[in-house]
Chain A
Amino acid sequence: MYTNYHPRWHRKPMSTYWWLERRSYLAFILREVSSVFIAWLVVFLMLLVRAVGRGDASYQQFLDWSARPLLVVLNIVSLSFVVFHAITWFNLAPKAMVVYVRQRPVPGHLIAASNYLAWAVASGLVAWLVLGG
């Protein structure tokens, strides 16, 4: 489908570093990269579940392991990427979701706000389970 070869037309190949050319491109690439950190947090969670399943000693060993400075830094970086992913994704949600109420489109900021609300409720529930339950 692409334009057929023409010997005299100039074609500028895209630079390998095209994602550094504009701030929005960089933000997009960072959002894509965040998936690697999300994958790491999933693995971390599974390791935690396995350690809990193996008993007290194993759990304590896991806690000691996760208190290592390198791991703490990795988890802080991962958390910031997850938050970045969530915020940029929720802000984009109105683009994908067009909701009509009484034949009128719901404004985009309300759709984004409902996503944030769901996030807050889910976080509150997890916090209650972990801290208060």
Chain B
Amino acid sequence: MNDRITMQVARYLPEGDAELSYQEYEVPYPREWVVLDGLNYIKDRLDGSLSYRWSCRMGICGSCGMTVNGEPKLTCATFLADYAPGPVRIEPLQNFPVIRDLVVDTGDFMRKLTSVKPWLIREEEKPLSEGEHLQTPAELDQYKQYSMCINCMLCCAACPVYGLDSEFVGPAAIALAQRYNLDGRDQGSKLRLDVLSDHEGIWGCTFVGECSKVCPENVDPAGAIQRYKLTAAMDSLKSFLMPWRGS
């Protein structure tokens, strides 16, 4: 019985390589093994020099996103057996610079996330003595979906605009901004408007829709962006028709 699968793993050594190369490893693939198990097997038994990111191995931390046979995937949630008889090709996430082997630089992504001010903003804090901000389940439902993002960057790897336009803020950041804009406790949507309604914000999105398809948490960034386009368009229409109300 052939109980091994070939993994073609992208290698890149910054000290010498000009291009990615591929190294093949034969790994076992029991039914419960995910791609990350295969990489860990390589690291532990076959080649300790292989570099990749991982942490929780249960779809929470968002560290182990890689390109598996051309598709952005969380390697902890992608079963090797689904790719039998192989080979299965593992590459770093697309649209990000590769530091080494399967490790990409996340700096650009992190800077764009913080640019949308992803935290609760209050115009005036109410005193503690007045108690907590209560929310109904319906109010929670408005933004809950967008709060499930684990920052795995798969959406940005699947988005051709993110790859073509280096300034585009990206699906993850916009979905995260909507998570706060739609939160009844937040009052900072006007502060986020500048970044979001910019040409490199929502209007950079051409609605390819791949971000939502690859999202492992069903956040639906494409939906968040289209909803915000509607909000921004209505906002500018209102400020045009009723300039006295301010933008």
Chain A interface residues (CB < 8 Å from chain B): 1-4, 6, 8-12, 14, 18-19, 21-22, 24-25, 28, 32, 92, 94-98, 103, 105
Contact = CB atoms under 8 A, between A and B. Distances in A.
Contact of A95 (B108, B160, B206, B222): B222
Contacts of A12: 20, 94, 98
B233 to A, nearest CB: 11
Closest 7 CB pairs of A and B: A96-B226, A8-B14, A2-B166, A9-B97, A10-B98, A95-B223, A3-B108
A131 B19 CA distance: 64
Interface string B193-237: 000000000000011111011000000101100110110000000
B117 to A, nearest CB: 15
B107 interface: yes
A32 B213 CA distance: 19
Given A1-B111, A10-B17, A14-B160, A25 B210 contact: yes
Contact of A1 (B98, B105, B108, B210): B108
B108 A2 contact: yes
A24 B108 contact: no
A22 B213 CA distance: 13
B112 interface: yes
B15 A8 contact: yes
Given A10-B98, A96-B223, A98-B227, 14 more contacts: A1-B112, A1-B167, A2-B166, A3-B105, A8-B15, A10-B17, A12-B98, A18-B163, A22-B210, A24-B208, A28-B209, A92-B226, A96-B226, A103-B138
B148 interface: no
A4 B111 CA distance: 12
21 contacts: A2-B108, A3-B96, A4-B107, A6-B105, A10-B98, A11-B98, A12-B20, A12-B98, A14-B163, A18-B163, A19-B160, A24-B213, A28-B209, A92-B226, A94-B223, A95-B226, A95-B227, A96-B223, A96-B227, A96-B229, A96-B230
Contacts of B96: 3
Contacts of A1: 108, 111-112, 115, 166-167
Contacts of A8: 14-15
A90 to B, nearest CB: 13
A104 to B, nearest CB: 8
Nearest to A103: B138
B61 interface: no
A10 B97 contact: yes
B113 to A, nearest CB: 11
A19 B160 CA distance: 8
B168 to A, nearest CB: 9
Contacts of A9: 14, 97-99, 105
Contacts of A10: 12, 14, 17, 19-20, 97-98
Contacts of A96: 223, 226-227, 229-230
A95 B12 CA distance: 39
Given A1-B112, A9-B14, A25 B160 contact: yes
Interface in B62-95: 70, 94-95
Contact of A25 (B12, B95, B167, B208): B208
A6 B104 CA distance: 12
Interface string B144-158: 000000000000000
